[in-house]
Amino acid sequence: MIQAVIFDMDGVLVDTEEFICEAAMQYFAERGVQVKAEDFLDFVGMGENRYIGGVAEKYGVPIEIVQAKKRTYEIYDAIVRGRIKPLDGVMDFLARCKRLKLKTAVATSADRTKMDINLREMGLTEADFNACVNGLEVERKKPHPDIFLFAAQKIGAEPAACLVVEDAISGVAAAKAAGMKCLALTTSFTPEQLAGADWIVPTLAHAPQECTAW
């Protein structure tokens, strides 16, 4: 029986892909390298170490990843102020979880800095969830299941009794590797690419009743 819902953040609770891409492109521009938005697609959902580092490798740009992320997040923070809000259906779905007495957690591959910025812009805090886990808290990133297993452990839920809400191919793979059910949103990838999920819908506004009633 379902005990908890674990949410990825980007593309699930809020759509920030455009803005983190813009910030990362500005960072590389500051380094004198012009990169393209499509360069980042292979690294979506894997955390900023791979998101920025993967593109740096592609272009042969030597970077110090901690400094690179720090500068990218500074740019990102300035870009998103007043420009992002919860995706369609998010607040109603969170209310559904509360009504059903389901525990909730955020499990994002992003660093804590980005997680905090996104929560702030959505008008939410960590107190709105039973736990919030960021990418710095696990060594192996998605598609490995570690972040979802850690989130389940933190909220005291059995993995087999958890629903993961994801939007990325790597996230769906991580959820299934954790032995969890998965609701996939087509905010970033096509239904065909997310075919491993148990349910596939456009946004949380379309989440079927059965995904929280098993």
What single letter denotes the amino acid at residue 38?
E
pLDDT at 208: 98
Catalytic option among 10, 111, 146, 167: 10
Tens digit of each residue's pLDDT, the chain (214 residues): 999 999 999 999 999 889 999 999 999 999 999 999 999 998 887 878 999 999 999 999 999 999 999 999 999 999 999 999 999 999 999 999 999 999 999 999 888 999 999 999 999 999 999 999 999 999 999 999 999 999 999 999 999 999 999 999 999 999 999 999 999 999 989 999 999 999 999 999 999 999 999 9
The total of structural domains in the chain comes to 2
Do 121 and 70 share a structural domain? no
The residue type at 3: Q
Q: Does 66 share its domain with 89?
A: no
The answer to whether residues 147 and 202 belong to one domain is yes
Predicted TM-score (pTM) of the model is 0.89
Give residue 49's domain range: 17-80
**Residue 88 among the catalytic residues:** no
Q: Is 195 exposed, middle or buried (0-12, 13-18, 19+ CB in 10 A)?
A: exposed
Among the listed residues 153, 160, 103, 117, the one whose alpha carbon sits nearest the alpha carbon of residue 133: 153
Told to judge if 8 belongs to the known catalytic residues of this protein, a careful annotator would answer yes
